[in-house]
Amino acid sequence: MADLHGKKIILGISGSIAAYKSAFLTRLLVKAGASVRVLMTPAAAQFISPLTLSTLSKNPVYSDVQSEAGWNNHVELGLWADAMIIAPATANTLARLAGGICDNMLSAVYLSARCPVFFAPAMDVDMWHHPATQENLRKLRTYGNEIIPVEHGELASGLVGEGRMAEPETIVAFLTEQFLRRQDLAGKKVLITAGPTYEAIDPVRFIGNRSSGKMGIAIAEEAASRGARVTLVLGPSALRAKHPGIDTIHVESAREMYVRATAQFPECDIAVLSAAVADYRPVKVADQKLKKEDGTPKLELERTPDIAAALGEMKQAGQRIIGFALETNNETANARKKLEKKNFDLIVLNSLRDAGAGFQHDTNKISILSQDNKTRHFELKTKAEVAKDIINTLLPIL
């Protein structure tokens, strides 16, 4: 039996014939020990009575953000909940929330929510497969939301195919599993490096790379959501981690990242080295901006500190290191060589030859190589989903 004892759940209902299932879902959540607050769009109230849901949840049902109750509660609810489930989530609601449109109580609470959000879509088969719907689902995943898979079967239109909302029992089981999974790093301290490094030429110019830090931040968010205490050493990036359990240390150069990472690592259980660290830096840094009239500068370069090698040498029994390899040729051979040389436990391989992978994308396509000479290949996914794959691969060797 599902155990959600003490969990605070928001159930958002949009206008679909599948809304009738929300009564069963509410009952199952309450039976599992959860405290449930129900939100409805105006269209949802045409399919199921708010009185029914209020009675089953033992709490008022909110539907009008412009009412006094709605206005006073939309932010509070977003902070109150341990999870928000939107079931059924229509194509219209998916589009609205993917676009950040805030014109009803459900969308106002969604935009205020700091908790994990789960969508259980419901629509006809052609609507489900339409590129616009699939793009909206992709966007929602990049925001860190979870999509509960639709089911295949007879639809309200009489057609048969994908688009049926998952059954209430399936939704409750999915949610329960997510809560259990989100504690599997409890008590672990995780060090993550992310983003590029900038190596100064003069006060204006630098040597850098195209890394945005998206992948490392996604891993930090995933680890923190699963109970870990996370230290994120982040190079120059416009992005920021949002989870309150992440302590971010901002650095600029490879030297600064080296100092911070080596200082933090002895107290950590896990290190994930996803930063794109510059391999070289200028030997001399000009005090003033170099001028064109001074001629073409000649830069003498030297190696930057090897953070991965340093942590590999420092690694003690029980510590785990995940490295990253971004390759353009002989990908697997180069990654396995790096895995062994740097004393990694796992290495995550990207190839710039894979469309949608690498720097500055919202997606990534990876393979994970391990010390037992095995390689796991993954499809192109959002970086939030890739972060889950990385953590899930790590867990068995902790």
Which active-site residues does the annotation give? Answer: 209
Q: How many angstroms separate the CA atoms of 205 and 251, rounded?
A: 17
Q: What amino acid occupies position 168?
A: P
Neighbouring residues of 336: CB distance < 8 A, sequence distance ≥ 6? 347, 369
Between the CA of residue 358 and those of 53, 195, 365, what are the distances in Å?
46, 12, 8
Backbone angles phi, psi at 78, to 5 degrees: -65, -30
CA dihedral over 35, 65, 98, 275, signed as positive or negative: negative
Spatial distance between the Cα atoms of 81 and 169, rounded to a whole number of angstroms: 21
With 0-12 / 13-18 / 19 or more C-beta atoms within 10 angstroms meaning exposed / middle / buried, residue 288 is exposed
Following DSSP, what letter does each residue of 83-94 receive, concatenated?
A: EEEEEEE-HHHH
Beta-carbon contacts of 282 under 8 Å, excluding residues fewer than 6 positions away, are 199, 200, 201, 207, 299, 300, 301, 302
Q: Are 380 and 354 in contact (CB under 8 A)?
A: yes
Binding residues for CTP, by number, are 279, 289, 324, 338, 342
Pairing outcome for strands 346-351 and 320-327? parallel
